[in-house]
A and B are shown apart, each in its own frame.
Chain A
């Protein structure tokens, strides 16, 4: 009981800190970093639903990110619909597409599944690279509209973006938290542990895998729409890359796969590292930041294969032993 209370207090402190953060750090750069952390944490949490809880190593989540980004942008540019509506429609389209992906792919095991999702990601990228109506390889430059909540564009400060990103993050983590406690989470973990055993206990394995992927798709797609409105320029190389699919998986793995807080910890570590190396070493097109980034990924995978949460569990075990 005491432990729970302590935890609630820490959560409250953390929440309040994040709420007043943009008033402590008023410069655009620290706010930008925090927005990126929220965005990637949400995507990591979304990946965690299918990859962490249900144990299906999907390496194609960029598909949903791209669909979210393109749906809201295209609806705004071609139909003049508010990106908020586009965000929701993108989420729904992503869920429908996730069913289309899941149907052939859920039969596949391990590496076959991973490669199949990579293949689908590449198909999506090539499709958008050659789709003239959707801007093809040139990409979409979103129109600059008057600043308003409905248009989802704010030019004077990053503050509204900050709170929207925070909201998306809260939504994703609440959903994860709820899932972790509910029957759904138990089913997912059972499927991850042993698919055959789960089936023999009467769990409809195929159906729950669909649920996991659909949830993952929906939240990733929302992040995509947010990204498009935040950056105001998208092209297939920036919203559909394999790199993005792997980074969201990396964020979850780094913090701890299949845990509520794992992806959050991962994002809080990885995003500042990548942003700061980009700022300090990224100049001149030499790619020094990415050398360091790649090196760190290798180092972490070697020395901390179970993520930071694995580390804390190790300490707990030592304490009790």
Chain B
């Protein structure tokens, strides 16, 4: 059973999953880097992304791969709205109030989804992306492969946007020192809203991609969000490349761990996190 092909197969699947985790984690990381708030409603926003793809397919027969920009736009708006309705009011609040506000928002969104769409598990029937590629003894699912490729492309585009454009510089400046950025004429309010918009838009992309090969239901976001928190902390809060690499590591640990003991695959992930922060309390690439 444990021959070379089997292990290679596991590693490739794990890498594909890891790159999707990376897209989920990068939104969280961006928001934290900007204003040091952990978005505990992240999983629920991903769930909304998946549901937007699902409903566009079910109601208007738009395949997730085509509705992807639309899902992204919807989530961008949700992110911006979240900032103005909730987050803006807790910017100066104590750490605990911030945790609870986003956590409460998560509960609200999850059960709102359950109220409107019932807790059923749904699946997109016959999406355009289906089937698998065969390389010798190794099979790669086409939806997973596409998801992973688009995730990596989105990640690179986002990274270029932040490090190479004027707006990106402004985002970086705001995350570096809000007051100094304000003095330079950067509207920090706009930057925060943009940060939340982009952070949520990543989830729109991820949601549309995941909905191709995964069930859609109101509680779907929780394991993804949990992995994202661990990825962001493992990579070091605020480090975008750090969270990318950490997400890949987590995908690998989960995949290989699932090979050894399927029931404990998340346990392995959490143990790796604890081991790493025990040695490096600031995470792998943390600022402090």
List chain A positions with a Cβ less than 8 A from chain B: 51, 57, 59, 104-105, 107-112, 114-116, 118-120, 122-123, 126-127, 129-130, 246, 249-250, 253, 257, 285-288, 290-291, 293-298, 300-303, 305-306
Contact = CB atoms under 8 A, between A and B. Distances in A.
Instruction: Tell me whether chain B's interface is mostly helix, strand or loop, or mixed.
Output: helix
Interface stretch (B52-60, B61-69, B71-79, B112-120): B112-120
A282 to B, nearest CB: 11
Contacts of B90: 301-302, 305
Contacts of A300: 100, 104
Nearest to A304: B97
B103 interface: yes
B230 A115 contact: yes
A301 B104 CA distance: 9
Given A118-B229, A119-B230, A294-B105, A111 B237 contact: yes
Interface string B100-138: 110111111111101100010000000000000000000
Contact of B274 (A116, A286, A303): A116
A288 B111 CA distance: 7
A107 B280 CA distance: 10
Interface of B: 32, 38, 86, 89-90, 93-101, 103-112, 114-115, 119, 226, 229-230, 233, 237, 263-264, 266-267, 270-271, 273-274, 277-278, 281-283
Contacts of A57: 95-96, 99
A18 B94 CA distance: 33
Instruction: Tell me whether chain A's interface is mostly helix, strand or loop, or mixed.
Output: helix
A119 B270 contact: yes
14 contacts: A57-B96, A57-B99, A110-B95, A115-B230, A116-B273, A119-B273, A129-B263, A250-B100, A287-B119, A291-B111, A291-B112, A293-B107, A294-B110, A302-B86
B229 to A, nearest CB: 5
A297 B103 contact: yes
Given A57-B96, A116-B274, A253-B96, A127 B267 contact: yes
A257 B107 contact: no
Contacts of B267: 122-123, 126-127
A285 B229 CA distance: 29
B96 A249 contact: yes
B111 A287 contact: yes
A306 B101 CA distance: 13
B35 to A, nearest CB: 12
Given A294-B107, A297-B107, A302 B263 contact: no
B277 A294 contact: no
B90 to A, nearest CB: 6
B263 A130 contact: yes
Given A126-B267, A290-B107, A291-B112, A112 B97 contact: no
B281 A246 contact: no
A130 B262 CA distance: 10
A233 to B, nearest CB: 22
A23 B226 CA distance: 46
A104 B112 contact: no
A294 B104 contact: yes
Contacts of B119: 285, 287
A123 B270 CA distance: 7
Nearest to B269: A119
B115 A291 contact: yes
B137 to A, nearest CB: 31
Given A105-B274, A107-B281, A116-B273, 13 more contacts: A112-B277, A114-B38, A114-B99, A120-B274, A122-B266, A129-B263, A130-B263, A249-B99, A250-B100, A285-B119, A287-B111, A291-B115, A298-B86
A286 B115 CA distance: 5
A297 B233 CA distance: 25
Of A297, A303, A306, most B-chain CB atoms within 10 Å? A297
A105 B274 CA distance: 8
Contacts of A114: 38, 99
B114 A286 contact: yes
A116 B229 CA distance: 10
Given A57-B99, A288-B111, A305-B93, A122 B86 contact: no
A118 B110 CA distance: 19
A116 B280 CA distance: 13
Of A111, A285, A293, most B-chain CB atoms within 10 Å? A111
B230 A301 contact: no
B100 A297 contact: yes
A93 B96 CA distance: 28
A108 B277 contact: yes
Contacts of B270: 119-120, 122-123
A108 B274 CA distance: 10
- Across chains A and B, which 5 residue pairs bring their CB atoms closest together, nearest first? A297-B104, A294-B108, A294-B107, A305-B97, A301-B101
Contacts of A112: 233, 237, 277, 281-283
Contact of A108 (B95, B112, B271, B281): B281
